[in-house]
Structure 1
């Protein structure tokens, strides 16, 4: 018999409300519902994990690893597991702290594990995955990076990159417009590159790329300019409609991205891909100035359903 997934309530607890979707486990629950519940401040990630206790024989359970190095800051497992439990799906997302040298062996382990349909990844593995996968989706092929990998019917691996869709969908949900807008992206790594591709595809007028490595920023700017339709440059402009941090800047122990108060005040929307902290100093400043804001959790929610479908977890 397949393992069962049960949601147990915190019996005897009076200091926490259960998520509104706990009572209907067979109801279709979206990642956005879970993220919205968190955004309301009713509970934290930890209380979601406490609300949902996985009881499974772990033989039939589909396991979705998320790789990173480090991985302690990643909020994805708690959020995905809450959704799996609320849907009654026999699946679990687990974090794995894996140094880059371990990637080839990990791929072979996944190939042999029948209950692992694929996996997710974060810093620093996105670029390396593209070189190992047998097939790449459109965004992954263009960027040379992937954040989601699935096994294929012929025993190979297919990778795709969903960061760009996630960030731009989350920005659109605030009501901010990308078409004909002036946009700044801080960070020319895998996430920043994916977001840049989607900014160009959605018709921005001007895109400015910043990175602590000017050469990397210039390389990305040339690649994005080749897509056509958007003027792409490097450096920090005097004003912009949308500011996006897609770099580690602003994470614990690191300085915030180089967006000053006048630049933030002139923007319509300020977005930060970081999930730790959930509300970065950049976003607090933008919120205080009355700007629309997009958190890393908003971006993650917007791309999560795409990733789930790609992995065949319909």
Structure 2
């Protein structure tokens, strides 16, 4: 065991590496959540943030994959769709969502891609007392995270899913992937307003920066609408603050990642060492 829970990780020549890739990357919370898990399990491993620009994503990923002691990669905005290209094997969730947020090196040397964004988001809603089954949902953002969340919402049994994005082609691609699984449920939507949804989700990066515009105006939503944001830092985005100021219930982004911890443990095959059992 290289370090104990609550202690500063002791990096050794045997330490296994995990990286989370993003652009920007300073907002990611995965290191804060997963490094304590490594410690609790007694694993000689560490997760570090890696700032990978869109222009150099391929060089960064291929370099990390060729490093013999890198066991896994987490992926955040804006790379979730592009990162699929660096996997040898894609799960059904990745193919359905059109994006990945986790890749691991298999015992056979191949890289396996999975997507836990959607499952984590739905699990977070359920844990907070907002099960999406039977609900009318408007999803703003059809990119990597949005695609994963759309797939998970469909699988969770929403009554209707309206998808909104500045890029109509991205919406059509998402609808094409989901149409066979939910005929008549998923459709292209408009900017949310009035009593058109029980739940409105921001799955865009808008809100990461203080000067970002709102992805939609909560003031135009009907009372009783739940507003959810998948952005985790800041914990309360301007969207959620504005929605709360108008008397709307809100759901933060952090539970989506918290619920993924168990999924990451299984995917990366993280088990306690003998010393911690």
SS in structure 2 of the partner of residue 70 of structure 1: coil
Structure 2 residue runs of 5 or longer lacking an equivalent are 272-277
SS in structure 2 of the partner of residue 95 of structure 1: strand
> Shift of residue 292 of structure 1?
4.1
Please say if residues 250 and 281 of structure 1, whose CA atoms lie closer than 8 Å, have aligned partners that are also in contact.
yes
Q: Say if 1:313 and 1:96 are closer, same or farther in 2 by CA, change over 3 A.
A: same
> Shift of residue 107 of structure 1?
4.1
- Is residue 2:207 matched to residue 1:207? no
Q: Give the distance between the partners of 1:141 and 1:248, measured in 2 at CA.
A: 22
Partner of 2:2: 4
- Is residue 2:170 matched to residue 1:247? no
**Deviations, residues 168-196 of structure 1 (Å, cap 9, x unaligned):** 11011111121111001110101001000
Please say if residues 203 and 230 of structure 1, whose CA atoms lie closer than 8 Å, have aligned partners that are also in contact.
no
Partner of 2:274: none
Please say if residues 205 and 230 of structure 1, whose CA atoms lie closer than 8 Å, have aligned partners that are also in contact.
no
Q: Say if 1:160 and 1:53 are closer, same or farther in 2 by CA, change over 3 A.
A: same
Q: Say if 1:279 and 1:52 are closer, same or farther in 2 by CA, change over 3 A.
A: farther
Q: How does 1:139-218 map to 2 (within 5 A)?
A: 139-218=93-172
Please say if residues 147 and 161 of structure 1, whose CA atoms lie closer than 8 Å, have aligned partners that are also in contact.
yes
- Is residue 2:263 matched to residue 1:309? no
Larger radius of gyration: 1
Alignment length (residue pairs): 267
- Is residue 2:233 matched to residue 1:276? yes
Q: Which has the higher contact order (CA 8 A, sep 6+)?
A: 2
Q: Say if 1:110 and 1:136 are closer, same or farther in 2 by CA, change over 3 A.
A: same
Q: TM-score w.r.t. structure 1 length?
A: 0.78
Partner of 1:43: none
- Is residue 2:39 matched to residue 1:82? no
Residue 97 (structure 1) aligned to one of 40, 47, 51: 51
Q: TM-score w.r.t. structure 2 length?
A: 0.87
- Is residue 2:217 matched to residue 1:263? no
**Deviations, residues 134-153 of structure 1 (Å, cap 9, x unaligned):** 10011112233211001122
Q: Say if 1:229 and 1:259 are closer, same or farther in 2 by CA, change over 3 A.
A: farther
Q: Give the distance between the partners of 2:174 and 2:108, measured in 1 at CA.
A: 34
**Deviations, residues 206-227 of structure 1 (Å, cap 9, x unaligned):** 1111112233224323432332
> Shift of residue 282 of structure 1?
2.0
Structure 1 residue runs of 5 or longer lacking an equivalent are 7-24, 26-50
SS in structure 2 of the partner of residue 100 of structure 1: coil
SS in structure 2 of the partner of residue 266 of structure 1: coil
Partner of 1:55: 10
Q: Give the distance between the partners of 1:212 and 1:80, measured in 2 at CA.
A: 33
Partner of 1:298: 255
Please say if residues 264 and 286 of structure 1, whose CA atoms lie closer than 8 Å, have aligned partners that are also in contact.
no
**Deviations, residues 27-58 of structure 1 (Å, cap 9, x unaligned):** xxxxxxxxxxxxxxxxxxxxxxxx6411232x
> Shift of residue 255 of structure 1?
0.8
| Aligned-pair Cα RMSD in Å | 2.2
Q: Give the distance between the partners of 1:120 and 1:68, measured in 2 at CA.
A: 9
Q: Give the distance between the partners of 1:109 and 1:248, measured in 2 at CA.
A: 27
Please say if residues 104 and 268 of structure 2, whose CA atoms lie closer than 8 Å, have aligned partners that are also in contact.
yes
Q: Give the distance between the partners of 1:66 and 1:126, measured in 2 at CA.
A: 11
Q: Say if 1:283 and 1:106 are closer, same or farther in 2 by CA, change over 3 A.
A: same
Q: Give the distance between the partners of 2:230 and 2:15, measured in 1 at CA.
A: 30
